[in-house]
Amino acid sequence: MQKKDPYIFYFIDKYNIDELTNLEKNIDLIFRNYNKKLKIDEIKTIHKFCKIDNRNLYLSNNIKLALRLGLSGVYIPSFNKSINYASKYSLPNNFEIIGSAHNIKEIRIKQLQKCSKTFLSPIFKSKKNQKFLSTLKFNLMTISKNIDFIALGGINKNNYKKLRLTKIVGFAGISWIKKNGLRELRPFLKI
């Protein structure tokens, strides 16, 4: 049986056409920028680019705007603990809620928030995160959970093959994907 390609997500905080055109076509985007006020025109420009490239765009922590702009979905960060986050909205069938977690308690919150995919991080050590899960702890945290998990944190060309040791449906990143757009590793990414 041939395995399907994994879901791949890339976090962006601004519209940069050079950066985005370097990405493989099947990489979905998550727009998150917690430092500046959201510019609706910028999000519309990114959405237009995604439509042309046939990729999904998720907006972080703003379900109302994501629905209004007709985006693919919303990304709920781990710090958003609101259980009824999406319950007051009538969601279209093709609208997806995804979220991130760092521990068992946050995984449970993402289940209650109706996330279809949960980013669990950090899986590997990085400059930003010296404290990480490792593949063993990652697997222990995801066992017997009826959720699709996405690996996040510290993934690079030296450790990405270890993702095969986990039960994930995809992975996400920033620096590694930004550096090479995954073009050089595409043949090896069946997980």
**Which ranges of the chain does DSSP label H, i.e. alpha helix?**
17-21, 40-53, 63-68, 104-112, 134-142, 175-180
Count other C-beta atoms under 10 Å from residue 151's C-beta.
Answer: 28
Kindly state the average pLDDT of the residues 153-168: 85
Q: Is-cis flag, bond preceding 92, omega within 30? A: no
Kindly state the average pLDDT of the residues 21-45: 90
- In the predicted structure, residue 36 carries a pLDDT above the cut 70: yes
Kindly state the average pLDDT of the residues 124-128: 78
Q: Are strands 117-120 and 96-101 parallel, antiparallel or unpaired?
A: parallel
In the structure, what pLDDT confidence band is assigned to residue 182 with cuts at 50, 70 and 90?
low
Domains located in the chain, CATH noted? 7-184 (3.20.20.70)
Kindly state the average pLDDT of the residues 125-153: 81
pTM of the model: 0.87
In the structure, what pLDDT confidence band is assigned to residue 191 with cuts at 50, 70 and 90?
very low
Kindly state the average pLDDT of the residues 40-67: 95
Give Cα separations from 33 to 8, 69, 123 (angstroms). Answer: 19, 17, 23
CA distance 120 to 132: 11
Q: What is the 3-state secondary structure (H, E, C) of 116-131?
A: CEEEECCCCCCCCCCC
- In the predicted structure, residue 50 carries a pLDDT above the cut 60: yes
